[in-house]
Amino acid sequence: MNPGKILLVEDNPDDVTLTMRALKSHNITNDVVVAQDGVEAIDYLFGAKAKADLPAVVLLDLKLPKINGMEVLQRIRSEERTRLLPVVILTSSDEERDIIDGYSLGANSYVRKPVDFVEFTKAAQQLGLYWLLMNRAPPPPRST
């Protein structure tokens, strides 16, 4: 069984590199698709070249150029096709406002990126393991 892809929505190339490294170092071999801003993420999910099968999980940063993470989340939840798609907010912010907004818009999880890379690696590994291997994804939407 193909455990599916990870869509990493992250504008900071350093964070992208570090996240990839953290995932890889724990043998999470799934494809990681990177979207560098909200527009790319939406394009990947809903655009003309959108794949039929959805990623297993979206790791979503909040502070993004053009369209921010909250807007992306809103869009994901408003579309029938992606309504149940697991979304994990992975951000630097631990503002209460962001946490409340995130869950209110239907985020499945909210994780703050630790500065300590060892901690960060642990977090990324746990996220990967949990959402790709342990979590049972919602059934794919009926294609019309």
Partner 1 sequence: MSIRNWPIKRKLTAILLLISGLVLLLTSAAFVTYVVVTNRETIRIHLATRSRILAATSTAALAFANEADATEILAALQYDPHMVAGALYNQDGRVLATYPAGAGADLIPAAPQPDGYRFERGRLVGFTPVAQGGSQRLGTLYIASDTKAVADALRLSAVIALVVLAIAMLAAYALAAALQGRISEPILALAETATAASTRQDYSVRAPKFGDDELGMLTDAFNQMLGRIEEQKQELQQHALRLEQRVAERTGELEKRAAELQAANSELDAFAYSVSHDLRAPLRSIDGFSQVLLEDYATRLDDAGRDSLQRVRAASQRMATLIDDLLKLARVTRAEMRTERVDLSTMAREIVADIQRAAPERAVDFVIAPGIEAQGDARLLRVVLDNLLRNGWKYTGKQAQPRVEFTAKQENGGRVFVIKDNGAGFDMRYADKLFGVFQRLHSAAEFEGTGVGLATVRRIINRHGGRIWAESAINKGASFYFTL
Measured from the CB atom, the residue of 51 and 66 that comes closer to partner 1 is 66
Single-letter amino acid code for the residue at 30: N
Among 116, 126, 133, 140, binds partner 1 (CB under 8 A): 116
- State the nearest-atom distance from the C-beta of 142 to partner 1, in Å: 39
- Of the candidates 133, 106, 8, 116, which has an alpha carbon nearest to the alpha carbon of residue 60? 8
Least separation in angstroms between residue 115's CB and partner 1 is 4
Q: What share of the chain is helix, strand, coil (3-state, %, to 5)?
A: 40, 15, 45
Tokens describing residue 3:
């455990």
Q: How far is the C-alpha of 20 from the C-alpha of 22, rounded, in Å? A: 5
The 4-43 contact track toward partner 1, x by CB under 8 A, reads --------x-xx--x--x----------------------
Q: Which is nearer to partner 1, 17 or 104 (CB)?
A: 17
Min. distance of Cβ 131 from partner 1 in angstroms?
21
Q: Whose Cβ is closer to partner 1: residue 81's or residue 122's?
A: 122
CA dist list (Å): 23 to 34, 40, 63, 82, 108: 13, 21, 22, 24, 20
Instruction: Name the residues that contact partner 1, by CB under 8 A.
Output: 12, 14-15, 18, 21, 62-63, 91-95, 113-118, 120
